[in-house]
Amino acid sequence: MTPLPEFAGGSLTAVAAGVPPGSPWSTYQSAARKLDRIPAESVPEPLRARVAVLGSFTLEPFLSVLRVEGARAGLWIETYLAPYGQYLGELLDPASGLYRFRPHVTFLAIDGDVLWHQRWTENPPLLSEPVVGGLLTPLFAGLDVFDHAGTGIVVVNDFILPRRSTEGVNAFRSKGTFAHTVAHANKHLRLRLAARAHTFLFPLADLVAQVGRNHAFNWRTHYRGHVSWSDALMGAVAERYVGFALAALGKATKCIVLDLDNTLWGGVLGEEGPGGIALGHHWPGSEFVDFQRELLDLQRQGILLTVCSKNNEEEALAALRTHPAMLIREEHLAAYRINWEDKASNIRAIARELNIGLEHMLLIDDSPHERAWVREQLPELRIPEMPADPSLYAHWVGSLSSLIVLQHTAEDAQRTRQYQESRSREAYRGAVGSLEDFLRGLEIRVEIDLVGENSVGRVVQLLAKTNQFNLTTRRHDEPTIRRRASASEWRIYTMRVVDRFGDFGLTAVAIVSPGPDVWHLESFLMSCRVIGKSVETALLARVAADAREAGASALSAEFVDSGRNQVAAPFLANHGFTVGDDARWHRSLGASGPEWPGWVESITPTGVATIAARVES
């Protein structure tokens, strides 16, 4: 067998670099064929995204654009396209190609015409809102089947008015216009998608508006061959689809690193003083206030804001604390490095402090020089080009596709506070002696429970996002977790961690397959925020105690090297497991052990919800 050529990490982005955004479709097509020539099997698993597209019009040409935009973000996108016009059939049939493909993300690209065209010609106008809502029923029947038998998330676009109405100037007086039909359909779609945990609305109308309706559709290819989207709309949709794919794979941005002068405010603080910088209700300055507001919206969704800036620290902090128009305050920042050292080292230090991989961080800095320098030093970091004109900052930040946050839990909203508490913990560590003294002083308490209705969302999120302390890095979607939660052949443990400085929330999960003799750890993972407290030992001790009580004599486990989980590599050996001939790790249970750490106190689960509802409904 010929060995596979070695996959060069930069080859995906290099192919995409030859296709500037806005290129004609033929350029995308040619680049996609270059991607075809990279053998799929040579691409490392973490870079591969399986993306299914189900459409009501011709989408083959779009797949090339999608693959190239994926490559631009460092993803190798494998695509599955449902046969023409078969989107409902594919959803309704668990034996269809869609289900066999096991997608990470499924996009439904539907043209509203297919839903109501027949009705429209038979019986205009569609006066009744329930009738319009009823047209969506088959679609939701399909989504119900997918909920039970499918994988990953589903993203459905909203409906659009593709052209100007010819219904006349009196149409606004009637409820039976095309615009009403579209509005009703979108209202039903939004309400019904919002009630489901892992379906999302794709803002196609918004993208069409951004591209411009006159440029978003190619009516010639639409009528000649049902290729409705123009080259420009294909590019815009693909870029946004890639954002969803990044998020579904746990590769979205978790932390934004911000510069200060001419980024968060206008002017140079050190030269102009706090009264001289541009920040306020009037121009110049109002554009920076708007930009800060957008950043705070992202922070509320759980994306961390940090500052890395060349300023005098005291002066900059004073501006953040006391400037009357400042929206981003010190308490919104999870970390900061304000000094005169080089930015790459400072960003590395922020990454270490927050325990976040550089590939999950994004730099916003107005200086092309700094961006170029950091890009050279830290190629993993996301460093988008940004507009030179601050009036465009607020618009620009909304277009960054790596800033999509799928799950929004109570933990997300609190995350910045948790990192700030961690700052106090670090200060405390400096003041005490041995590690055990330090840990005792933290007054760590854990609450171990089996997964329940109010923790399912957080468990799925942890499975999707935890890269470092994760023995097997298996991602499971919500239907899988729900199935397992109610099946006797699985036990899903959750652990909440609290210490004297604050509540980390639900931060560890163990998925155990309890056999009669051997209990197997299918997944065992812990958020990086609680690494270094030995709470993982507590969770393992609890699993072992339960196994012993159930009559089992041994535990087994696996360690699957993902390239990111080195911190978890010694865990099994350190807890008495030895590797067997089957490459699995085994540990006889005996009479006792692994021992519960003496400095960790166990709290009895209260049954009170610690997880708030996920997506707003």
Partner 1 sequence: MSAGDERAARVRELLAEVLDVPLPSIGPGFSAATAGSWTSLNHLMLVSQLEGEFGVIFTNAEIGELTSFDRIVSALAQHLEPG
> Could you list the residues that contact partner 1 (CB under 8 A)?
24-27, 29-30, 33, 58, 60-61, 218, 220-221, 224-225, 227, 231
Host H or E run for residue 88: helix 87-92
Vertex 599: Cα angle to 596 and 601 (nearest 5) = 75
Nearer to partner 1, 231 or 365 (CB): 231
Smallest separation (angstroms) from partner 1 to the CB of 38: 15
* Minimum CB–partner distance for residue 62 and partner 1 (Å): 11
Nearest distance from residue 26's CB to partner 1, in Å? Answer: 4
Smallest gap from residue 232 Cβ to partner 1 (A): 10
199 close to 144: Cβ distance less than 8 angstroms: no
Smallest distance from partner 1 to CB 30, Å: 4
Minimum distance from residue 84 beta carbon to partner 1 (Å): 10
CA gap 55, 220 in Å, rounded: 19
d(CA 480, CA 470): 18
In whole angstroms, what is the distance from residue 84 CA to residue 168 CA? 35
Q: Provide the minimum distance between the beta carbon of 11 and partner 1 in the complex, in angstroms, as a whole number.
A: 18
Q: How far is the CB of 66 from partner 1 (least distance, A)?
A: 15
Nearer to partner 1, 24 or 39 (CB): 24
The nearer residue to partner 1, 29 or 210, going by C-beta atoms, is 29
Q: Which one, 61 or 250, has the nearer CB to partner 1?
A: 61
Contact 559, 569 (CB under 8 A): yes
Tell me the β-bridge partners of 304.
Answer: 255
Q: Which is nearer to partner 1, 231 or 499 (CB)?
A: 231
Q: Which is nearer to partner 1, 125 or 162 (CB)?
A: 162
* Residue 316 identity (one-letter amino acid): A
Residues 540, 575 contacting (CB under 8 angstroms): yes
What whole-number distance in Å separates Cα of residue 150 and Cα of residue 477?
9
| Nearest-5° Cα angle at 134, 128 to 136 | 125
> CA–CA separation, 176 vs 132, rounded Å?
11
What is the SS3 assignment for 141? helix
Residue 23 burial (CB < 10 Å; 0-12/13-18/19+)? middle
Which CB sits closer to partner 1, 84 or 340? 84
Peptide bond into 516 cis (omega under 30): no
- Residue with Cβ nearer partner 1 (54 or 451): 54
Sequence-ordered strand ranges (E) for 259-320: 304-309
| φ, ψ of residue 150 in degrees (nearest 5) | -100, 180
C-beta closer to partner 1: residue 14 or 195: 14
What span, in angstroms and rounded, lies between the C-alpha atoms of 605 and 306? 35
Question: Pairing between strand 600-603 and 255-258?
Answer: unpaired
> How near is the Cβ of 31 to partner 1 at its closest, in Å?
9
Give strand pairing partners of 587.
Answer: 555
Nearer to partner 1, 18 or 379 (CB): 18
Question: What is the rounded distance in angstroms from the CA atom of residue 365 to the CA atom of residue 258?
Answer: 6
**Please, what is the minimum distance in Å from the beta carbon of residue 72 to partner 1?**
18
Which residue's CB is nearer to partner 1, number 222 or number 564?
Answer: 222
CA–CA distance from 614 to each of 406, 448, 455, 459 (Å)? 9, 21, 10, 12
- Please give the distance of CA 68 from its chain centroid, rounded to a whole number: 20
Min. distance of Cβ 220 from partner 1 in angstroms? 6
- Give CA–CA dist 139/530, Å, rounded: 42
- H-run or E-run covering 50: strand 48-55
For partner 1, the closer CB: 59 or 98: 59
Nearer to partner 1, 29 or 391 (CB): 29
The CB-of-13 to partner 1 minimum distance in angstroms stands at 20
Half-sphere exposure of 273 (CA within 13 A, CB side): 2
Contacts of 540 (CB under 8 A, 6+ apart): 510, 524, 575, 594
Q: How far is the CB of 533 from partner 1 (least distance, A)?
A: 55
Instruction: Work out how close the CB of 221 gets to partner 1 at its nearest, in angstroms, rounded to a whole number.
Output: 5
* 165-193 residues labelled b (16+ CB within 10 A) or e (exposed): eeeeeebeeeeebbebbbebbbebbeebb
Nearer CB in complex with partner 1: 37/164: 37
Tell me the sheet residues that pair with 335.
Answer: 306
According to DSSP, the residues that pair with 187 across neighbouring strands are none
